[in-house]
Amino acid sequence: MQRSRAITNRGKDEIIVHGPYGEVSVGNFIARAAKLATQLPDCRYVINLATDRYHFILGFCAAIIAGRCTLLPPNRLQHTVQQVAGEYVDCISLGEDSIDGVERFEIDFDSLAIAGSEAAIPKISLQQLCAIVFTSGSTGTPTPNHKYWETLRAGTLGNVELLLQNVSDQVNLLATVPPQHMWGLETSVLIPLFCNVAVCHRTPLLPMDIANALESLPEPRILVSSPAHLDAFFASDVAELKLDMILSATAPMSEKLAKNLEQHFDARVVEVFGCSEAGIIAKRSTAVEEPWQLSRSFAVEVNDDGTIIRAPHLPEEVILHDIIELIDEGHFRWRGRHQDMVNIAGKRGSLADLNLRLQAIPGVVDGVIFMPSADSKRLAALVVAPTLAPSDIVAQLRLDIEAAFLPRPIYKVPKLPRQETGKLTRKAIVDLFARTKRSRTTKDGDSADN
Amino acid sequence: MQPQSEHELELAELIVESLNLEDISAADIQPEEQLLGDGVGLDSIDALELALAVTQKYAVQLRADDANIQEVFGSLRSLSAYIDANSS
């Protein structure tokens, strides 16, 4: 028997979106989404590239109501979207930009505006495939993660319990992360369907824009972001306002940044641990505690093969590339990432894979890509390539590596400090990197003096 | 290749220095070349760091409002013009 559940559990008069033209109630939003669902062209898949969050959510819900599956590529670059569209051919795209070779559907907002707010709340089969979220990895070949309505719905109810307990009055949420990324999807798209949250349609990145968008929202306010965005926002010192909660994910946050943010915005800073495959798994108050509190939806098993995550709403178990130490059933400590894995701007990559690609470039005799230190924002590379300039190497790498993983700087060296066995120790790499960097700085100083 | 103005060269030096672009020299950045994505190859995290460096040096806060961030950062020329227009 097919079981189904409502697309939202909220009251029709509550506010779900602070849209470009004002507040939109749940009832009105559902009526518009249901109408849009009848207008979508015949297709199986919808690639939702909308940058305006209201448009994204409207298109996302309309697709679910119409029984279409939304495809969420890891980024909006032409070639990434075309790669996904090439595999899921029966698709259209939604959003401001058009992609060559993909039929773009233009939402006629005027036709939706008359929809009223008395539409019945649609019920969605728990087995319906609602979305495929792609993770890019380092190679740029997107890996699909299937999200059924049961996965999204139960996952979101668990997230509300974990992050937004005791919310009765309306909370207003602003996200700086895109809705297409799992972190943005779970917080800014799905939570508003199952908790009294009204989400802002904007996605600001620059500190001034974040401040302005927050000021446009009534209190209480929640900011959903990442350490890189929050670091810049705090450092720019542009906002004097109160935030109730700051939610951060995609990369580890330092205790110092968490404390600074809590003090400056009088906010609770909650860091979230998760991945695209499983969604939000755990949280902690980084300013005051190190252990992570596991969401009640999940069970963690640590064995010789690694860390395995299970939940009734997940289609399959998820293996984490993280080393985890269980404290008790509900808490764990994070002890690092599998040595080979790096996480940059919310994208996971394998160093071994990146190194193979570097070493395969014609003219590269030897080379290594690595993370210079724990708080580096970018990878760096040491390369033996007598005939190539660093810019040639970058140009070659750019062909099959995600931009976030491009090493910077690339230093050319006469040889790598390999041991007799061929092994490269991290210490030898980091030492050579530091020496090379120093000598270059001195040389620059010399030439400036001449 | 179009020559950089004095302000553009100064901004190019800030870009190279603040983002550690050790493979590019300031004089190599074409005034009309796209800064983000193709072209110079900066990404959104670079944009944030650059925005901070611009604020520190010129006391100008960059804003995109609801426009695409690409439009503000555009090229060396457009960013330099934005800073000139907004500095007191």
Report pLDDT digits (tens) over A20-78.
Answer: 999 999 999 999 999 999 999 999 999 999 999 999 999 999 999 999 999 999 888 78
| Pairwise pLDDT comparison (A374 vs A372), residue with the higher score | A372
CATH number at residue A165: 3.40.50.12780
Q: Which two tokens stand for residue A22?
A: 């004002």
CB-nearest to A206 from B24, B41, B63 is B63
Question: Of A218-222, A365-369, B48-52, which has the strongest mean pLDDT?
Answer: A218-222
Say yes or no: A238 contacts chain B, CB-CB below 8 A.
Answer: yes
Q: Which of A337, A365, A390 is the last residue of a domain?
A: A337
> What residue spans of A99-226 are helical by DSSP H?
109-113, 149-163, 182-184, 191-194, 207-215
**What's the number of domains chain A is made of?**
2
Q: What residues of B are in contact with residue A403 (Cβ under 8 Å)?
A: 41, 43
Binary contact (A236, B51; C-beta < 8 A): yes
Cβ(A224)–Cβ(A264) below 8 Å: no
Q: Which of B47, B61, B65 lies at the smallest CB-CB distance from A238?
A: B61
Q: Are the Cβ atoms of B45 and A403 closer than 8 angstroms?
A: no
Q: How many CA atoms lie within 13 A of A4 on its CB side?
A: 14
Q: Which of A279, A308, A337 is the last residue of a domain?
A: A337
Q: Are residues A308 and A351 in the same domain?
A: no
d(Cα A412, Cα A386) in Å, to the nearest integer?
8
Comparing CB atoms, the residue among B22, B41, B62 nearest residue A409 is: B22
pLDDT at B66: 62
Domain boundaries, chain B: 6-86
Is there a contact between A190 and A197 (Cβ–Cβ < 8 Å)? no
Compute the nearest-CA separation of B48 from chain A (Å).
6
Determine the topology of domain B6-86 in CATH. 1.10.1200
Residue B13 with chain A: CB contacts under 8 Å: none
For residue A38, with 0-12 CB atoms within 10 Å meaning exposed, 13-18 middle and 19 or more buried, which class applies?
exposed
Same domain membership, residue A386 and residue A332: no
Instruction: Pinpoint the alpha helices (H) of A164-309.
Output: 182-184, 191-194, 207-215, 227-236, 255-265
Question: What CATH number corresponds to the domain at position A394?
Answer: 3.30.300.30
Domain that holds residue A108: 4-337
Q: How far is B38 from chain A (nearest CA, A)?
A: 10
Tokens representing A274? 């998760």
Exposure b/e, A407-425, CB count within 10 A at least 16 = b: bbbbbbbeebeeeeeeebe
Q: What is the pLDDT of residues A385-400, one digit of tens each?
A: 999 988 889 888 888 7
Cβ pair A226, A249 in contact under 8 A: yes
Distance CA A134, CA A87 (A): 12
Cross-chain residue pair A209–B52, CB shorter than 8 Å: no
Q: Is A333 helix (H, G, I), strand (E, B) or coil?
A: strand
Same domain, A97 and A238: yes
Q: Report whether pLDDT(A282) > 70.
A: yes
Question: Rounded to whole angstroms, how far apart are CA atoms A250 and A232?
Answer: 15
Mean pLDDT of A226-253: 90
Helix pair angle (B44-58, B76-86), 10° resolution: 40
| A313 and A430 assigned to the same domain | no
Same domain, A287 and A420: no
Residues A130, A94, single domain; the answer is yes
Candidates B22, B34, B62: best to mutate against A (most CBs of A within 10 A) is B22
In terms of domains, do A309 and A406 share one? no
Among candidate residues A319, A337, A355, the one where a domain is terminated: A337
**Which among B56, B46, B48, B2 has a CA at the least distance from the CA of B27?**
B2
pLDDT number for residue A116: 74
Order of all β-strands in the sheet with A221-225:
A22-25, A15-19, A197-200, A171-175, A221-225, A245-248, A268-275, A279-284, A292-294, A331-337, A322-328
Neighboring chain B residues of A209 at a CB cutoff of 8 Å: 63-65
Same domain, A416 and A295: no
pLDDT digits (tens, 9 = 90+) for A99-126: 999 999 999 998 998 767 777 999 999 9
A306, A384: one domain:
no
Write down the pLDDT at residue B22. Answer: 65
* Residue A303 and residue A445 in one domain: no
Cis preceding-peptide flag for A220 (omega within 30 of 0): yes
Please name the helix (run of DSSP H) or strand (run of DSSP E) that holds residue A440, with its range, or none. Answer: helix A426-449
**Dihedral (Cα; A28, A30, A33, A39), 10-degree rounding:** -90
Q: What percent of chain A has pLDDT over 70?
A: 96
Residues A250 and A354 in one domain: no
CB-closest option in A206, A345, A411 to B62:
A206
Q: What are phi and psi of A295, to 5 degrees?
A: -65, 145
